[in-house]
Amino acid sequence: MDRVNLPGGPAVIPDAASRPAIVLLFARLREAIGTAQEHLTLPDEVRDVAGLLACLRARGGAWEAELAPAKPIRVAVNQEMADSATPVRPGDEIAIFPPVTGG
């Protein structure tokens, strides 16, 4: 198989892995953190919901306070309810919100 080695290391090939994920916040979380939607390039170490929440908490401030492990938080990945082990991938729509109160 032919490979082209460029000076300075392997070429960076744009592919699915470079697509950002979309993070959506709702209700109290949206207000407390002050954002409704964000495009986020997932760091390599973020593989699941638990990893994403840890990554967001590391920003400090309202992110750290509102997403603290003791807080009752729900997460949906691609519009399906998820748990901490649910995988997250580039291009996913990940929504974080408080327990629902409709009806």
Contact set with other proteins (CB under 8 A): 24, 26-28, 72, 76, 79-81, 95, 97-103
What minimum distance in Å lies between the beta carbon of 26 and other proteins?
6
Nearer to other proteins, 44 or 80 (CB): 80
- Does an H or E element contain 21, and which? strand 21-25
CA dist., res. 74 & res. 96, Å (int)? 6
What minimum distance in Å lies between the beta carbon of 29 and other proteins?
10
Q: In sequence order, what are the beta bridge partners of 38?
A: 23
The DSSP result for 64-80, as a single string, is: HHHT-TTS--EEEETTE
Nearer to other proteins, 28 or 59 (CB): 28
What minimum distance in Å lies between the beta carbon of 78 and other proteins?
9
